[in-house]
Amino acid sequence: MMLIGLTGGLGSGKTTVAKVFETLGIPVFYADEVSKQITDTEPVVKKQLKAAFGTDLYKNDKLDRAALAKLIFTNKEAIKIVNSIIHPAVAKAFMDWANHQKTPYVLQEAAILFETGGYKRFDKMVLVSAPKELRIERIKARNNWSLIEIEQRMANQWEESQKIPLADFVILNDGSKPLLPQILAIHENLVRISNSRS
Question: Which H or E run includes 16?
Answer: helix 14-23
Residue among 93, 158, 86, 100 at smallest CA distance from 125:
158
Q: How many CB atoms lie within 10 A of CB 140?
A: 15
Distance CA 64, CA 24 (A): 36
Under DSSP, is residue 116 helix (H, G, I), strand (E, B) or coil? coil
- Confidence band for 196, pLDDT divided at 50, 70 and 90: very high
Beta strand spans in 144-194 (E): 169-172
Q: How many CB atoms lie within 10 A of CB 111?
A: 19
For helices 31-41 and 76-98, angle between their N-to-C axes, nearest 10 degrees: 100
Cβ pair 192, 181 in contact under 8 A: no
Predicted confidence at residue 74, as pLDDT, reads 73
Q: The domain at 1-27+104-198 falls in which architecture?
A: 3-Layer(aba) Sandwich (3.40)
Predicted confidence at residue 73, as pLDDT, reads 74
Most confident of 79-88, 109-118, 131-140, 179-188: 179-188
pTM (2 decimals)? 0.91
* Eight-state DSSP code of residue 159: -
Predicted confidence at residue 137, as pLDDT, reads 93
Q: Is the pLDDT of residue 125 over 90?
A: yes
Q: Is the pLDDT of residue 61 over 90?
A: no
- Residue 59: strand pairing partners: 62
Q: Is the pLDDT of residue 14 over 90?
A: yes
Q: Taking the CA of residue 71 as centre, how many other CA atoms within 13 Å lie in the half-sphere pointing to its CB?
A: 18
Q: What is the CA 148 to chain-centroid distance, rounded?
A: 22
Q: Is the pLDDT of residue 166 over 90?
A: yes
For the chain, the first-to-last Cα distance in angstroms comes to: 8
Distance CA 47, CA 145 (A): 30
> What is the per-residue pLDDT across 83-116, written as a single tens digit (0 to 9) for each?
999 999 999 999 999 999 999 999 999 998 999 8
- Residue 108: strand pairing partners: 5, 29
CB-based contacts of 40-47 (< 8 A; 24+ apart in sequence) = 42/89, 44/89, 45/85, 45/86, 45/89
Predicted confidence at residue 158, as pLDDT, reads 92
Q: Is the pLDDT of residue 153 over 90?
A: no
Radius of gyration of the chain (CA): 17
